[in-house]
Chains A and B, each alone.
Chain A
Amino acid sequence: MSIAADLGESLFYMLVFPGFVFLFGYAFVAEYADRKLYARLQNRVGPPLVQPFADFVKLLSKESIVPENAEETIFEAAPIVALAGVLTPILYVPVWSAEAALAFQGDLVVVLFLLTIPSFALIFGGWHSRNAFGQIGTVRTLTQLFGYEIPFFLACLAPAVAAGTWSISGIASFVASSPLYIPVFAVGFVVALLSLQAKLERIPFDVPEAETELVTGALVEYSGRKLALFRLTKNIELVVGAALLSALFLGGPYPAGAIAGAAGTAGTVGIAGAILGFAVFLVKTLVIVFALTILRAVLARFRIEQVVSVFYLWLVPLALAQLALVLVVGTAEVIP
Chain B
Amino acid sequence: MAKESDETTIPIGPQHPSLKEPANFELTVEGEEITGAELSLSYNHRGIEQAVRSKTYLENIYLLERICGICSHSQTTAFVQGVEELLGLDVPDRARYIRTLVAELERLHSHMLWLGVAGHEIVFDTLWQYAWRDREAVMDSLEELTGNRVHYSINTIGGVREDVEDEAIETIQDRLEDLRDRIDFYLDTVPAERTVQMRCEDVGFVSEDLARDLCAVGPTARASGVPADVRQDNPYAAYDEGDFDVITAEAGDLLARLQVRIEELAESVAIIEQVLEDLPEGDLKASQKPPQALLAGIESGDVLSRYEAPRGELSHFIRSDGSDTPERVHVRVPTLANWSTVVEALKGSYIADTPIVVAGIDPCISCTSRIGVAVDGDEATLADATAGGGVGINDIETTSDTDEGYTLDDLREYGMEWYENGGDQL
A contacts, CB < 8 Å to B: 41-44, 132-133, 135-136, 139, 142, 203-204, 206-207, 210-215, 297-306
**Residues A303 and B350 in contact, CB atoms below 8 Å apart:** yes
Chain B's closest residue to A304 (CB) is B32
**Residues B199 and A301 in contact, CB atoms below 8 Å apart:** yes
Chain B's closest residue to A127 (CB) is B1
The stretch from B95-103, B122-130, B228-236, B332-340 touching chain A is B122-130
With A139-B4, A304-B32, A305-B32 as known contacts, state yes or no: A299 contacts B195, CB within 8 Å: yes
Q: How far is the CA of A90 from the CA of B198 in the complex (A)?
A: 37
With A43-B130, A299-B124 as known contacts, state yes or no: A212 contacts B355, CB within 8 Å: yes
**Residues B126 and A302 in contact, CB atoms below 8 Å apart:** no
**Residues A300 and B122 in contact, CB atoms below 8 Å apart:** yes
Instruction: Provide the residues of chain A in CB contact with B354, threshold 8 Å.
Output: 213
Query: Can you spell out 29 A-B residue pairs with CB atoms less than 8 angstroms apart?
Result: A41-B126, A42-B130, A43-B133, A132-B10, A132-B11, A135-B3, A136-B351, A139-B1, A203-B123, A204-B195, A206-B123, A211-B17, A212-B17, A212-B121, A212-B355, A213-B351, A213-B352, A215-B17, A297-B125, A299-B195, A300-B122, A300-B195, A301-B199, A301-B352, A302-B199, A303-B32, A304-B32, A305-B350, A306-B198
Instruction: Provide the residues of chain A in CB contact with B10, threshold 8 Å.
Output: 132-133, 136
With A301-B199, A302-B195 as known contacts, state yes or no: A212 contacts B123, CB within 8 Å: yes
Instruction: Provide the residues of chain B in CB contact with A302, threshold 8 Å.
Output: 195, 198-199
**Residues A304 and B133 in contact, CB atoms below 8 Å apart:** no
**Residues A42 and B195 in contact, CB atoms below 8 Å apart:** no
Q: How far is the CA of A43 from the CA of B129 in the complex (A)?
A: 7
Closest chain-B Cβ to A309's Cβ sits at a distance in Å of: 10
B contacts, CB < 8 Å to A: 1, 3-4, 8-11, 16-18, 29, 31-32, 119-130, 133, 193, 195-196, 198-199, 350-355
Instruction: Provide the residues of chain B in CB contact with A43, threshold 8 Å.
Output: 129-130, 133
**Residues B350 and A300 in contact, CB atoms below 8 Å apart:** no
Instruction: Provide the residues of chain B in CB contact with A301, threshold 8 Å.
Output: 122-124, 195, 199, 352
Q: How far is the CA of A302 from the CA of B122 in the complex (A)?
A: 8
Instruction: Provide the residues of chain A in CB contact with B133, threshold 8 Å.
Output: 43
**Residues A42 and B129 in contact, CB atoms below 8 Å apart:** yes
Chain A's closest residue to B195 (CB) is A300
Instruction: Provide the residues of chain A in CB contact with B120, threshold 8 Å.
Output: 212
Instruction: Provide the residues of chain A in CB contact with B129, threshold 8 Å.
Output: 42-44
Instruction: Provide the residues of chain A in CB contact with B3, threshold 8 Å.
Output: 135
- A-B CB contacts (within 8 Å), total count: 85
Residue among B29, B352, B355 with max Cβ neighbours from chain A (10 Å): B352
A142: which of B1, B17, B32 is its contact (CB, 8 Å)? B1
Q: How far is the CA of A212 from the CA of B359 in the complex (A)?
A: 11
Closest chain-A Cβ to B114's Cβ sits at a distance in Å of: 15
Closest chain-B Cβ to A13's Cβ sits at a distance in Å of: 39
Q: How far is the CA of A276 from the CA of B376 in the complex (A)?
A: 83
With A135-B3, A215-B16 as known contacts, state yes or no: A42 contacts B125, CB within 8 Å: yes
**Residues A212 and B195 in contact, CB atoms below 8 Å apart:** no
**Residues B4 and A207 in contact, CB atoms below 8 Å apart:** no
Closest chain-A Cβ to B8's Cβ sits at a distance in Å of: 6
**Residues B199 and A303 in contact, CB atoms below 8 Å apart:** yes
Instruction: Provide the residues of chain B in CB contact with A136, threshold 8 Å.
Output: 8, 10, 29, 32, 351
Known: A132-B11, A136-B8. 5 other contacts (CB 8 A): A41-B126, A43-B130, A204-B123, A213-B352, A301-B199
Instruction: Provide the residues of chain A in CB contact with B353, threshold 8 Å.
Output: 303
Q: How far is the CA of A297 from the CA of B125 in the complex (A)?
A: 7
Closest chain-A Cβ to B202's Cβ sits at a distance in Å of: 12
Instruction: Provide the residues of chain A in CB contact with B195, threshold 8 Å.
Output: 204, 299-302
Instruction: Provide the residues of chain B in CB contact with A44, threshold 8 Å.
Output: 129
Q: How far is the CA of A258 from the CA of B125 in the complex (A)?
A: 42
Chain A's closest residue to B8 (CB) is A132
Q: How far is the CA of A302 from the CA of B197 in the complex (A)?
A: 10
Chain A's closest residue to B197 (CB) is A300
Q: How far is the CA of A43 from the CA of B182 in the complex (A)?
A: 14
Instruction: Provide the residues of chain B in CB contact with A213, threshold 8 Å.
Output: 18, 351-352, 354-355
Q: How far is the CA of A301 from the CA of B129 in the complex (A)?
A: 16
Instruction: Provide the residues of chain A in CB contact with B29, threshold 8 Å.
Output: 136
